[in-house]
Chain A
Amino acid sequence: MGYKCPVCEKTWLDTMELARHMFGTGDQAHKDWVNSKGLNFVELLLIQTMEPGNKGYKTLAELLEKEAEKVD
């Protein structure tokens, strides 16, 4: 059971891990995908540090919950 990265297809245990992977990689391809979903990659990163409670990563994780392909 896991989630596939919509860009490089690596599989991750949960969407939080997947979000971590996407931010950590942070190349254009991953940025573009996030931005194409109506979020702003860089904004999310900055929100993450400016506001408490893991907000940036949670927001992306929620999106991935819906968007990312699940695999078993």
Chain B
Amino acid sequence: MEKQLVRIKVNSEYYELYIKPKKLLVEVLRDELGLTGTKRGCNTGACCACTVLLDGIAVKSCSVLAVQADGSEITTVEGLADRANLAPLQRSFLDHGAYQCGFCTSGMLMSATALLSEKLSPTKEDIRESIHGNLCRCTGYNSIIRAIAAVAEGKYKEQK
């Protein structure tokens, strides 16, 4: 089996990689690009800790072959902040203590980012629904829901 050329744009950087087709997107992000902010929590596509944005939509990077992402634009948690300026969701997560061990946080932030890009004013139910797949064993979710709601309500404007 020969390696394939994969061209991807990750957090606005372009990459050309030769990789085995069996490599999962999450493996390439973590092992080839060193973007370890994206985590893995299971082997069955059931925890969504590996959620990234692929051309703007939330996907499980453990359930996408890297070769399938060829030509796409990917955003990981490392791409959320603008240099030292944290994104509104990141600031809201801090204010609401919407994380504890932090291992699911990247995935949560990416799911929430996708939601807010799709819906301007999501309901509490929309928010619960949007992170339904993201497993968290620490927080009991409610602080995360409050954090996302606060951003949706416009409490955190982009800092420029």
> Does chain A touch chain B in the assembled complex, meaning CB atoms less than 8 Å apart?
no
